[in-house]
């Protein structure tokens, strides 16, 4: 994964000389995402800058990638997991200039200049800007879920800018905003188009659909296998929860063979390393060690202190570009872990984001009144992932040049898991009166693959699992950071998404230092970020309306109440 920056609508003969150094300086603000190499394409109408993190074809594959005739120029942040299948389908009609998995985007565009005809064929995580020199046309697109970040806006002269992170555009574009996932933009007509649509978004399309445990399991195994595509050392994030442990279990099965040649040769780095972090004595560290011992990974469990986490907060908020309370809490230990991982020479990790959104793993899903409500809430949560967990995982890791991949959000796996009737995912009560735990359908599909104490471990928010003292410490410290009068006047100081707690005010103030202006504030969703604040959840249980704390422990009648 890398970073991209582009500027279009240049005035030929007037803009190129002053704009090139400006574009380079702005791109340097996100170079942490791509410390391995910098590339520039400059023409009279467009500038593209790329900061590369070399994972596939590290010796080649530099960007921006130009077609053989120089007509197409491409800058991509991301990975295209099915690039070889797509290349084979083109039958050699495009002359590839590199071994990069991303160059297939140029090839597909050369074959058909309507991106709407082929974008949905890409299985990967990506944000790209493609410049067609002949047509004078820019095409910009983002992956279906929004795993890779992308921002856009216009400068004072009306030029269009795009960048992987907001920090590159913050003082340049007064209208900076997130580019929407699952869409592409065509500068030829100024239109934004949705390309990612699925029947399963509507509950009616899922009614009565069953997915056998074996089908679900095999679909996930294929997703993990696909996403292990790498020519550099990689590992897995292992919190000891169900999701990360399943990722690790699948990865451990495939780690000895090289994915890029269809498992035909031994992997360059065949031993799977796993990583965890927490306060001393945290639940996650203990559970991660149990999972690692069972799977045989080379495990690295790191500790941090509340003081170290608090010291990092300004950097964390500057990197994640959010003031959302849950996101900041969870991003901080992840940010510290990424630094440790980077120090060990690892450039890519597999992570478990997305499972709770797909299978209703958050504890408030226990309160869902029926399958329709359950399904509609999973779709809503998936639509918001790019503002929360995907943002956290990507930016916390990429702050230190470590790429996070998310197999649960593989589009082929999504199609299997989301077409299932939600009644099979719902929590229910057995005949003996015990509760069927959340995500049972996923746990049952992998029966025997993990120790029962991991397979049936209940959901912990990541910011809880690293140690309850982390959240409690932040809330206590916030009392001394923000005066009562400041919080009372929060609406006046922060008219866009005003904070409602002292902890939220503290993070918002740190965010404003790095990202001033209302446009930046609007890129962060308002309100509380998990179950307790959802209007839908409040309909399920009115008690959620009074829950000011987004911690999973706030759902007190459910946390640690479910039994396997």
Pairing of strands 72-80, 348-350: unpaired
| CA gap 498, 168 in Å, rounded | 25
Crossing angle between the packed helical segments 242-254 and 213-227, to the nearest 10 degrees: 70
Structural domains in the chain, sorted by start: 3-197 (3.60.20.10), 211-425+432-554 (3.40.50.620)
| 563: DSSP letter | B
Residue 6 CB contacts under 8 Å (≥ 6 apart), including other chains: 46, 47, 48, 49, 75, 129, 131, 138, 140, 161, 162, 163
DSSP state letters, 366-397? GG--SHHHHHHHHHHHHHHGGGTHHHHHHHHH
Residue 183 CB contacts under 8 Å (≥ 6 apart), including other chains: 141, 142, 192, 193, 194, 195, 196
- Among 50, 29, 37, smallest CA distance to 399 is for 29
Evaluate whether 338 touches 346 at the Cβ level (below 8 Å).
no
**In the sheet that 191-194 helps form, which strands lie side by side, from edge to edge?**
65-66, 72-80, 124-132, 137-142, 183-186, 191-194
Evaluate whether 101 touches 229 at the Cβ level (below 8 Å).
yes
Evaluate whether 74 touches 132 at the Cβ level (below 8 Å).
no
**Distance (Å) of CA 495 to CA 167, 217, 320, 511, 517:** 21, 47, 21, 14, 11
Pairing of strands 348-350, 234-237: parallel
Q: Which helix (H) or strand (E) segment is 334 a member of?
A: helix 325-343
Going through 306-426 in order, the beta strands assigned E by DSSP cover 348-350, 403-405
Pairing of strands 46-52, 151-154: unpaired
Determine the length of the chain.
564
**Confidence (pTM):** 0.94
Three-class DSSP labels, 139-170: EEEECCCCCCCCEEEECCCCCEEEECCHHHCC
**Distance (Å) of CA 406 to CA 109, 189, 302, 318, 352:** 26, 34, 22, 23, 6
- Would you name the residues annotated as active-site residues? 2
- Among 475, 477, 473, 335, smallest CA distance to 392 is for 335
> Tell me, what's the pLDDT at 216?
98
> Tell me, what's the pLDDT at 436?
78
> Tell me, what's the pLDDT at 561?
47
Angle at 68 (CA atoms; ends 63, 74), nearest 5 degrees: 30
| CA gap 165, 323 in Å, rounded | 15
Burial (CB < 10 A; 0-12, 13-18, 19+), residue 357, is: buried
Tens-binned pLDDT, residue by residue, of the chain (564 aa): 799 999 999 988 778 889 999 999 999 999 999 999 999 999 999 999 999 998 888 887 789 999 999 999 999 999 999 999 999 999 999 999 998 999 999 999 999 999 999 999 999 999 999 999 999 999 999 999 999 999 999 999 999 999 999 999 999 999 999 999 999 999 999 999 999 999 999 999 999 999 999 999 999 999 999 999 998 899 999 999 999 999 999 999 998 777 777 888 887 777 899 999 999 999 899 999 999 999 999 999 999 999 999 999 999 999 999 999 999 999 999 999 999 999 999 999 999 999 999 999 988 898 899 999 999 999 999 999 999 999 999 999 999 999 999 999 999 999 999 999 999 999 876 666 666 789 999 999 999 999 999 999 887 655 566 878 999 999 999 999 999 999 999 999 999 999 999 999 999 999 999 999 999 999 999 744 443 446 677 778 777 666 655 445 545 555 554 444
């Amino acid at each position: 994964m890398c970073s991209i920056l582009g500027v279009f609508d240049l005035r030929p003969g007037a803009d190129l000389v002053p704009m090139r150094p400006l574009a380079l300086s702005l791109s340097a603000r996100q170079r942490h995402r791509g410390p391995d190499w910098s590339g520039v394409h400059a023409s009279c109408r467009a500038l593209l800058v790329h900061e590369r993190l070399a994972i596939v074809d590290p010796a080649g594959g530099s960007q921006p990638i130009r077609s053989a005739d120089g007509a197409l120029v491409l800058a991509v942040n991301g990975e295209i997991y099915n690039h070889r299948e797509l290349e084979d389908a083109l039958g050699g009609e495009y002359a590839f200039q590199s071994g990069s998995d991303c160059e297939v985007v140029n090839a597909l565009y050369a074959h058909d200049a309507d991106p709407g005809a082929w974008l949905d064929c890409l299985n990967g995580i990506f944000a790209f800007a493609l410049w067609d020199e002949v047509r004078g046309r820019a095409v910009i697109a983002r992956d279906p879920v929004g795993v890779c970040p992308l921002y856009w806006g216009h400068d004072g002269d009306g030029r269009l800018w795009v960048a992987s992170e907001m920090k590159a555009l913050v003082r340049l574009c007064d209208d900076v905003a997130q580019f929407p996932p699952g869409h592409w933009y065509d500068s030829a007509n100024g239109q934004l188009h949705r390309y990612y649509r699925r029947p399963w978004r509507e509950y009616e399309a899922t009614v009565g659909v069953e997915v056998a445990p074996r089908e679900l399991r095999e679909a996930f195994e294929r997703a993990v296998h696909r996403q292990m595509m790498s020519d550099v050392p990689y590992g897995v994030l292992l919190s000891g929860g169900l999701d990360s442990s399943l990722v690790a279990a699948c990865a451990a099965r495939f780690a000895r063979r090289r994915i890029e040649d269809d498992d035909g040769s031994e992997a360059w780095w065949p031993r799977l390393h796993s990583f965890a972090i927490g306060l001393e004595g945290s639940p996650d560290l203990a559970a991660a060690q149990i999972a690692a011992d069972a799977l045989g990974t080379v495990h690295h469990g790191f500790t941090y202190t509340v003081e170290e986490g608090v010291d990092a907060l300004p950097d964390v908020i500057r990197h994640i570009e959010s003031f959302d309370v849950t996101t900041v809490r969870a991003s901080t230990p992840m940010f510290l872990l990424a630094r440790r991982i980077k120090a060990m020479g690892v450039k890519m990790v597999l992570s478990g984001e997305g499972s709770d959104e797909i299978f209703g793993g958050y504890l408030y899903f226990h309160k869902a009144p029926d399958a329709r409500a359950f399904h509609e809430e999973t779709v809503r949560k998936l639509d918001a992932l790019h503002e929360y967990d995907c943002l956290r995982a990507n930016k916390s890791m990429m702050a230190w040049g470590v790429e996070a991949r998310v197999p649960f959000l593989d589009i082929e796996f999504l199609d299997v898991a989301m077409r299932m009737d939600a009644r099979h995912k719902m929590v229910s009560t057995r005949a003996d009166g015990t509760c069927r735990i959340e995500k049972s359908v996923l746990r049952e599909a992998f029966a025997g693959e993990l120790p029962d104490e991991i397979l049936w471990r209940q959901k912990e928010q990541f910011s809880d699992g690293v140690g309850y003292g982390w959240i409690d410490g932040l809330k206590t410290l916030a009392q001394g950071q923000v005066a009562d009068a400041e919080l009372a006047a929060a609406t006046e100081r922060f008219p866009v998404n005003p904070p409602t707690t002292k902890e939220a005010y503290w993070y918002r103030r740190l965010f404003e230092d790095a990202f001033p202006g209302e446009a930046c504030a609007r890129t962060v969703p308002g309100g509380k970020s998990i179950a307790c604040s959802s209007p839908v959840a409040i309909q399920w249980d009115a008690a959620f309306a009074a829950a000011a704390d987004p911690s999973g422990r706030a759902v007190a009648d459910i946390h640690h109440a479910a039994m396997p």
